[in-house]
A = this chain, B = another copy of it.
Amino acid sequence: MTEPGQVFSALKATCLDDWDAFIRHDFVRQLGAGDLPEACFRHYLGQDYIFLIHFARAYALACFKSDELDDMRAAAATLDALINAEMALHVKYCAGWGLSEAEMAALPEADANLAYTRFVLDAGMAGDLLDLLVALAPCVMGYAEIGTWLAADSARDHDQATRYRDWIALYAGAEYQEVAKGALEQLDRVAARRLGAEPTASPRWAKLAKTFRTATRLEIGFWDMGLAPPG
């Protein structure tokens, strides 16, 4: 495989139905159309705050598990960006939605959140760096696809003044797209180092595809959770 993103494409191809159910989820459609109930969005934002913490822990684990400096550097930079920069942006954005950091930190963690984040962390602990990166891929790459899709869709079909414009702009924006591209390339690189030139021919492929699919299903569960705010 030599085309950039080929490992991700090959993984996605093993579970296209699940992938579409994640990317085109009702939560996403409603968010793009601007008619997602605000209670749902707030519920999502609060849980996403908790999610980001464990997602950052997964990048810390990726750094711990790297045996090449380039992978350590990539993981350390992502981790620092997440926990020392993005987190502050997220907190500020949430404040605009009436959610204080103290409130979010006190929220009970939803089961869908526990399932997704702890699955990713355990996939990394039980396996190697590649197992971990594959478990992380649906989130990183999925949000890039969703951002791009919604931005294009919004431009075409909807009033730009949607309530969720800033959220869409974040993931459609050049900075996030660059992060996703970096993750795509790292997945190719680590797969080449650990599986060789034909990842899909490796005896590990079926297990990696299962991990990718489970993480994708857990993304769907996360959107489902978003549509069902408590109370």
Contacts and interface: CB of A to CB of B under 8 A. Distances in A.
A128 B128 contact: yes
Interface of A is mostly: helix
Contact of A115 (B114, B121, B203): B114
A95 interface: no
Interface string A176-195: 00000000000000001111
A64 to B, nearest CB: 4
A117 B20 CA distance: 27
Contacts of A57: 63-64, 66, 72, 126
How many chain copies does the complex carry? 4
Given A53-B69, A67-B207, A80-B80, A111 B122 contact: no
Contact of A84 (B77, B115, B131): B77
Nearest to A101: B69
A146 interface: no
